[in-house]
Amino acid sequence: MAANSLMDVIGGTPSVWLDRLVQARGLEGRMLAKLDYLNPGFSKKDRAAKGIIEMAEASGALRPGQTVVELTSGNMGTGLAIVCGLKGYPFVAVMSRGNSVERARMMAALGAEVVLVDQLPGSVPGQVSGGDLAEVDRVTREIVEKRQAFRADQFHHAGNARAHFETTGPEMWADSDGSLTAFVDFAGSGGTFAGTIRALKDCNPGLRGYVVEPEGAEALAGGVVTRPDHPIQGGGYAMADLEFLQGCQVDGYLSVTGEAARETARALAREEGIFGGFSAGANAAAALDLLAGPERGGVVGIVICDSGLKYLSTDLWA
């Protein structure tokens, strides 16, 4: 049966077992991948965009026809461009020039006004630091005030984590036939991890949740940040105080190098036919580490966060 709107096909993405990837490395256990790169905007952020806008409408925080503004690495902006376009809200996406150009072009094609913010002096193109993100946040706040806009505020708005609590977690549990023993996720806003792990622990209180950060930027784990710049776009901003993780049970922290994320993303494409992005590679690399260590013989769930198509101008596929 055909859907009445693209809004109705956000979420409900398929999951697949990555047995080839696991067995080729001689590991015990299984890995389940939630293919959220098959959402309409090619990323998991479609769920959060829909959740935030619908929650804001219900509370009256978002007025009919009001402009929506949000900072983004590209994925939330794409999701909001779709949702706002379908619902009749003008949308302004504010993004660092350090993110891949494909993202800006896609948001603009979907009707968004895209504001690109220069990186800080000394920042590396393609590697967005916490300082770069802070500059994007400053510009975002200025635009919100000037236009009297509604800020989607993905790092704080409850609709982000709630969307994953209501959809991603229950879907993954059902897709695994109730066999998941762990969930691991690369931290951006923290909304995916917080919402998903809460839902999964409701199903199985003994299930363990792990947060992934880039090596050298393990702020959430309480480490000293030595390398705030890294190629894993969409997260790892060396922010130690993500709101969604406050009061959220984290059973362990893992770190991955940019090279490990890159090579595992390439392995996903070659060995499993999954054309995901940098963070998908980071998630799969961390899950492999878990199956080689504390989760040996277990069943680890991950999310394929976005599509490799968003990284064709980067060194991910060079």
Active site residues: 45, 279
- Provide the sign of the torsion angle of the four alpha carbons 203, 206, 212, 217, taken in this order: positive
DSSP state of 37: G
Q: Are 16 and 35 in contact (CB under 8 A)?
A: yes
The sheet with strand 15-17 has its strands ordered as 15-17, 30-34, 299-303, 182-186, 208-214, 252-256
Q: Are 81 and 91 in contact (CB under 8 A)?
A: yes
Residue 241, helix vs strand vs coil: coil
Element (H, E) at 221: none
Amino acid identity for residue 256 in this structure: V
> Torsions phi, psi of 11, nearest 5?
85, -175
> Torsions phi, psi of 21, nearest 5?
-60, -45
Both tokens assigned to 253: 């922290």
Q: Beta 91-96 vs 113-117: how paired, if at all?
A: parallel
Q: Are 115 and 95 in contact (CB under 8 A)?
A: yes
